[in-house]
Amino acid sequence: MKILIVSDSHGNNRNLIQAVKNMSGTMDMMIHLGDMECSPDRIRELVDCPVEMVKGNCDYGNELQGAKLIQIGGHKVFITHGNHYGGEFGIPTMKDIAKENGADIVMFGHSHKPVIEKSGDVTVINPGSISRPRQDGFRPTYMVMNIEDDGRTDFVLVTM
């Protein structure tokens, strides 16, 4: 499986469209971790696969939840925008919530900075922002989650 993971597009979907093209038909799922600032339907229309989304602090007037648990292959995943947990400062709290709910992966956005933290029982990832990056170099980023047939999983940070 290949899963496209994005966050913080803030209404500028040009890079999101390019990320979808970069996946060239190999995408099995897309996850948007909030602050899309457009209709969730507009995001869903970009792909021909299942889409999971959560509401960010800049998303208004939609039906999305702020956080939820989803199943991806053999993984239970806690997805959230992260603003209710302090963004990157709330990683310990988000990991605790994941553990309490039997999840082994946390995915969050909000900080606009990429994170891949593999320690202990829970892997934490943040794809950064696909439109308004804040990390050194200020280049938009997204992640691809690869799940092999034998269950091995890795996360690849893609810089645009």
**List of domains in the chain:** 2-159 (3.60.21.10)
Give the model confidence (pLDDT) of 21-51 as tens digits: 999 888 999 999 999 999 999 999 999 999 9
In percent, the amount of the chain with pLDDT more than 70 equals 100
Q: pTM for this one?
A: 0.94
Q: Which long-range contacts (CB under 8 A, 24 or more apart) does 72-75 make?
A: 72/1, 72/3, 72/29, 72/105, 72/145, 72/147, 73/1, 73/147, 73/151, 73/153, 74/147, 74/151, 75/103, 75/104, 75/105, 75/147, 75/153
110: left (phi over 0), alpha (psi -120 to 50) or beta: left
SS3 71: strand
pLDDT of residue 111: 93
